[in-house]
Amino acid sequence: MTRRVLFLSVSAGAGHVRAAEALEATVAALAAEGHDVEAKHLDVMHYVPATFRRIYADFYLSLITRYPRLWGMLYRITDDTHPDAVTARMRRTIERLNTRRLRTAIAAFAPDAIVCTHFLPAEMLARQIRKGRIDTPVWLQVTDFDLHRLWVVQGMAGYFAASPEIAHRMRAVGLPADRIHTTGIPLMPAFAGPHDRQALAAGFGLDPSRPTFLVMGGGAGVGELDRLADTLLAAGGTFQLVVLAGRNAAMLERLRALAATRHAGRLFPLGFTRRVDEVMACCDLAITKPGGLTASECLAMGLPMIVNAPIPGQEERNADYLLEQGAAWKAIDAVALAWRVDVLRDAPDLLATMAARARAIGRPHAARDVIARVLDLRGTA
């Protein structure tokens, strides 16, 4: 009998969706290996009224982009708010009233297990469990190296932590110790596979023998990537710079113009790609915002980082974790970033040490470990 597992994400930021996609792809791989399993992924924001979606997802993205300090304040306030506070109960009521279509979609798929990569569906389903309306086991995957109070949802079949510290924090706030599992953050199966740097670099037009740095602007290609690339390359050196512009077509064109006129043979712009693992395999250093998924991808690939412009709240705490583990440096502004690139450019031994630390804490098999636990599939982890 086919076992069905449903993944629920929320497109408020890309990380929650990417984690669910990684889990779905892992189930597909297991099915190809002969396991009788089937998966489906639903983005909660596709099943709520447009007004709610604008407030919940679009407002969040606008807030972290335009008013990051305000978001940081809200992050701390909600982290300190008790679950039984009036504001917390009101929030859950509003969410419940706006997710009725989602409950219908869940029932139609009739899953044997549900994994939430965001707290919103987990809270909604926890209430359904308490009311005796569903008996499907629900699991919750935390997607940052932090544990905000909103992720502390009682009644789950299990909880997946990004690191041993987060597992410890889960136990400290009263979640059942026997349901907490340190798996890491789920990544696409490709991040666990072998990578031939020589062949991949040649495919991207890169010289595999030269130091290669990667600048990541996220799926949306945010930030002044062209100005940053010009500044870094103008400082000298022989390193190559790969810049991921994501879906930002205008930025990609500006980068291509810059590559053609000022930095031919050293600047390699790329648009949105699903070959991030292959790009990372060609690089010696990543310059990126410390989102939970992006950081986990770098760790899985043994790619040291300079983290810059972290969003106050979860990304600041992600950055703290990476710095404590010796896998990253942090740049507070463009001047600090340029100096750090300058230092690491001339310190291959230091870069190698950081790469080893990244690899030591990376969890490329996190998605398979999660699925093995959820579906009790022996020998798949």
| DSSP string computed for 132-198 | TS----EEEE--SSS--GGG--TT-SEEEESSHHHHHHHHHTT--GGGEEE------GGGGS---HH
**Rounded to 5°, angle at Cα 342 from 341 and 344:** 65
Whether the per-residue pLDDT at 380 is higher than 80: the answer is no
pTM for this predicted structure: 0.90
Q: What is the pLDDT, as a whole number, of residue 26?
A: 97
Region 296-314: what's the mean pLDDT?
93
Whether the per-residue pLDDT at 299 is higher than 60: the answer is yes
Contacts made by residues 375-381, CB under 8 angstroms, sequence distance 24+: 375/3, 375/5, 375/37, 375/112, 375/113, 377/30, 377/35, 377/37, 380/30, 380/35
Percent of the chain clearing pLDDT 90 (strictly above): 67
Whether the per-residue pLDDT at 223 is higher than 60: the answer is yes
Helices 59-66 & 68-80, crossing angle to 10 degrees? 120
Burial class (CB in 10 A: 0-12, 13-18, 19+), 353: middle
- At 244, the pLDDT band (50, 70, 90 cuts) reads very high
- At 49, the pLDDT band (50, 70, 90 cuts) reads confident
Whether the per-residue pLDDT at 195 is higher than 90: the answer is yes
Per-chain mean pLDDT for the chain: 89
Q: What is the pLDDT, as a whole number, of residue 284?
A: 97
More confident position, 352 or 238: 352
Q: What is the pLDDT, as a whole number, of residue 271?
A: 92
Q: What is the pLDDT, as a whole number, of residue 270?
A: 94
Whether the per-residue pLDDT at 379 is higher than 50: the answer is no
Per residue in 313-330, pLDDT tens? 889 999 999 999 999 999
Region 289-304: what's the mean pLDDT?
96
Percent of the chain clearing pLDDT 70 (strictly above): 91
Q: What is the pLDDT, as a whole number, of residue 91?
A: 56
Cα–Cα distance for residue pair 43/110, rounded to 1 Å: 16
Whether the per-residue pLDDT at 94 is higher than 80: the answer is no
Strand partners, 328: 305
Region 11-30: what's the mean pLDDT?
92
More confident position, 328 or 49: 328
Q: What is the pLDDT, as a whole number, of residue 364?
A: 97
- At 381, the pLDDT band (50, 70, 90 cuts) reads very low
Q: What is the pLDDT, as a whole number, of residue 71?
A: 76
Q: Which residues neighbour 28 within 8 Å (Cβ) at sequence distance 6 or greater?
A: 39
